[in-house]
C-alpha cells in the first residue's frame, strides 16, 4: 500500500453491503413519497421554502438511485457518479436562488400552518433516514453524498419550521424567502464538498483505487 502512495486511512466503505442496499432502498421510498407530499403542500401554501425542500427530496430520490446503481462498480465510476451528484446539487441551488429572487419580486403570504405541519412531517421522515444511514456516513464520495443529502434535508426541515413561525409572527413572506435562500447556500456548500472528494478520488493512482476495493 505504501508503494502506491496511499495508506489504510484512505480505504473507505464503497457501499458493497446487503444491509446498506436495503437501507438505501427504504430511504429512496421515503424521499419519493415526501417529494410528492411536500411539493403539493408547498404549491398549496405558496411557500418557496417548502417547494425548495420538496425539490431536495426529488433530487435525493434520483441521486440515491444513482448511488445504488453504481455500488460495487470500479472506484472511478463511483467517483464520477458522486461528481454528477455534486453538479446536480449546484444546479438545484441555482434554481432555489432564482425562485427566491422571483418570490421577492412577486410575493404572497405563505400559509404558515401548512408550512409548520408539513415541515414537521418532513423532519420526521428525514431523521428516520439519517438514523438509518448514520453507520455509513464516512464512506467514499458516492456513499458520503447520500449522508450529506439526508443531513441537508433534516436541517432544511428545521429551517422550514422556523420560517413558518417567522411568517406567522411577522405576517410577511420574508422569513420563508430567507430560509429558501439559506437552503440554496447549504446545497451549494454540499455540492462543493462532494465535488472536491470525487475529484480527489478520480485523481488517486489506479493501484490505490484497487486497494480501496
The answer to whether residues 198 and 80 touch, using CB atoms and an 8 Å cutoff, is yes
The mean pLDDT of 61-88, rounded to a whole number, is 80
Summarised one tens digit per residue, pLDDT across range 128-161 is 988 888 887 777 777 777 777 787 778 777 877 8
The predicted pLDDT at position 113 comes to 80
Q: Is residue 97 part of a domain?
A: yes
Asked if residue 73 belongs to a domain, the reply is yes
pLDDT band per the 50, 70, 90 thresholds, residue 87: confident
* pLDDT (0 to 100) of residue 4: 37
Give the domain range for residue 155.
14-212
The CA dihedral of 90, 106, 122, 146, to the nearest 10 degrees, is 0
User: Is residue 114 a part of any domain in this protein?
Assistant: yes
Q: Say which residue the cell 429572487 belongs to.
A: 101
The DSSP string of 164-205 is HHHHHHHSSSHHHHHHHHHHHHHHHHHHHHHHHHHHHHHHS-
d(CA 201, CA 152): 23
pLDDT, greater one: 98 or 206: 98
> How remote is the C-alpha of 72 from its chain's centroid?
22
Residue 64 inside a domain? The answer is: yes
Which CATH number fits the domain that encloses residue 129? 1.20.1510
Task: Give the per-residue pLDDT at 7.
Answer: 39
Degrees, nearest 5: CA angle 99-27-52: 10
- Total domains in the fold of the chain: 1
> Is residue 8 assigned to a domain?
no
Quick check: is 58 in a domain? yes
pLDDT in the model for residue 26: 92
User: Whole-number mean pLDDT of the chain?
Assistant: 76
Whether the per-residue pLDDT at 100 is higher than 70: the answer is: no
pLDDT band at 6 (very low <50, low <70, confident <90, very high): very low
- In a domain, residue 7? The reply is no
Q: Looking at the domain assignment, is residue 65 inside a domain?
A: yes
Residue 209, pLDDT score: 44
Residue 115 has what pLDDT?
76
Amino acid at each position: 500500500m505504501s508503494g502506491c502512495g496511499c495508506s489504510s486511512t484512505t480505504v473507505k466503505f464503497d457501499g458493497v453491503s446487503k444491509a446498506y442496499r436495503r437501507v438505501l432502498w427504504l430511504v429512496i421510498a421515503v424521499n419519493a413519497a415526501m417529494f410528492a407530499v411536500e411539493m403539493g403542500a408547498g404549491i398549496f401554501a405558496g411557500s418557496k421554502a417548502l417547494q425548495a425542500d420538496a425539490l431536495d427530496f426529488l433530487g435525493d430520490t434520483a441521486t440515491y438511485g444513482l448511488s445504488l446503481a453504481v455500488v460495487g462498480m470500479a472506484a472511478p465510476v463511483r467517483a464520477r457518479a458522486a461528481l454528477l451528484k455534486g453538479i446536480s446539487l449546484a444546479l438545484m441551488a441555482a434554481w432555489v436562488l432564482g425562485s427566491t429572487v422571483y418570490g421577492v419580486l412577486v410575493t404572497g403570504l405563505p400559509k404558515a400552518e401548512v408550512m409548520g405541519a408539513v415541515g414537521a412531517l418532513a423532519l420526521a421522515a428525514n431523521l428516520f433516514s439519517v438514523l438509518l444511514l448514520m453507520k455509513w456516513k464516512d464512506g467514499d464520495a458516492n456513499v458520503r453524498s447520500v449522508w450529506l443529502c439526508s443531513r441537508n434535508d433534516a436541517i432544511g426541515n428545521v429551517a422550514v419550521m422556523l420560517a413558518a413561525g417567522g411568517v406567522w409572527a411577522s405576517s410577511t413572506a420574508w422569513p420563508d424567502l430567507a430560509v429558501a435562500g439559506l437552503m440554496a447556500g447549504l446545497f451549494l456548500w454540499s455540492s462543493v464538498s462532494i465535488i472536491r472528494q470525487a475529484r480527489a478520488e478520480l485523481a488517486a493512482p489506479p493501484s490505490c483505487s484497487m486497494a480501496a476495493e
